[in-house]
Amino acid sequence: MTIGRNGFSRLLVAAVLCLAGCMPSLPQPFHPDDIPRLTQPGVRAGLTVAPVEGAADGALFAEAIADALADQDIAASTEPIAGPSYHLTGRAVPEGDGMRLEWEVEDATHGFAGAAAQSIGPDEMPAWQTGDPSLYRQLAKGAASEIAGFLAESAMGTPEQPLILIPEVTGAPGDGRRTLQRSMAYVLDKRGLKTTESETPEAKPALVLQGVMKVEDKGKVSHVEIAWTLTRADGTTLGNVAQANDVPTGLLDGAWGDIAFAIADAAADGIADLVVKSPEAAPRAQR
């Protein structure tokens, strides 16, 4: 398959976990037109919002909640989020002449993180029963502030994420060595992981993520392969993520631009999964 600059992100991603023996690789298509909110600037934590039970349009209400949480600098999405994350569920139950909204957040690693509640008065019931988007936005704004508060408190008690060193990508043409390195650090940071692009006496990485790229010229197209290998500081391999595709020859010889972001974002979920399952990411008491 041959694709252009905007279509490069139809990469096949294979993540292989090698902690207790390698598992078969799992292809995961990437869709560039649906980049999750957590990869955008300004967000700091990952939270998945489930459709709200008892609402006329639970999915639409969930989207309103995700948007309101994004305004609180939280990476909220109605799609599953890889890496350290939280899960928000909401349900509506009858309360007198109105309704009561009950929100609960769970930490994917440590369980219950907090809860909040809202009341819907009788005068708001007609809009509630029809699934009025403006009411959803109003309710979402009120809930998001409280949810953001106990998310911050919960984050204070969670184990610190291991620092990941991401060197320049070996073998990348053009400005890809540095651009792809920076893009990978960016998308992993937005998934709640801690990264550095250089080792210093003050920052000793526990993990290393090395990218190696190979480009094979086949005339009008070039076959591109990228292997991301996650290792411990002592060199022990924890797993790898592999990407491959054909691109027009010469496409990557200059400035990569948004291609680097698309490639990094395609591989980030698989890499985040490897990091979360690594011994370095386990609570200290379990190590």
Domain housing 215? 5-36+160-286
pLDDT at 83: 57
Same domain, 267 and 165: yes
**Same domain assignment for residues 185 and 273:** yes
Percent of the chain with pLDDT over 90: 41
What distance in Å separates the CA atoms of residue 11 and residue 260, rounded to the nearest whole number?
A: 12
- Residues 22, 74, single domain; the answer is no
**Of 132, 156, 180, which marks where a domain is finished?**
156
Q: pLDDT per residue over 140-153, tens digit each? A: 998 988 888 776 66
In terms of domains, do 241 and 131 share one?
A: no
Q: How far apart are CA 235 and CA 102, in angstroms?
A: 47
Reduced to 3 states, what is the DSSP secondary structure of residue 158?
coil
Residues 12 and 73 in one domain: no
pTM of the shown model? 0.54
- Do 178 and 152 have their domain in common? no
Q: Given the structure tokens 């937005």, which residue do they identify? A: 190
Among 119, 185, 171, 117, CA closest to 146: 117
Asked if the structure places residue 75 within a domain, the reply is: yes
Number of domain units in the chain: 2
| pLDDT greater than 60 at residue 15 | no
Residue 41 within any structural domain of the chain: no
Are residues 53 and 129 part of one domain?
Answer: yes
> Domain check: are 282 and 177 in the same one?
yes
Q: Which of 118, 115, 117 is nearest to 86 (CA)?
A: 115
Same domain, 259 and 209: yes
Q: What is the pLDDT of residue 81?
A: 64
Residue 84 confidence (pLDDT) above 60: no
More confident site: 195 or 18: 195
Cα atoms in the Cβ-side hemisphere of radius 13 Å centred on 16:
17
Cβ proximity of 127 and 135 under 8 Å = yes
On the question of pLDDT at 12 being above 80, the answer is no
Max intra-chain CA distance, the chain = 72
Band of the pLDDT at 105, cuts 50, 70, 90? confident
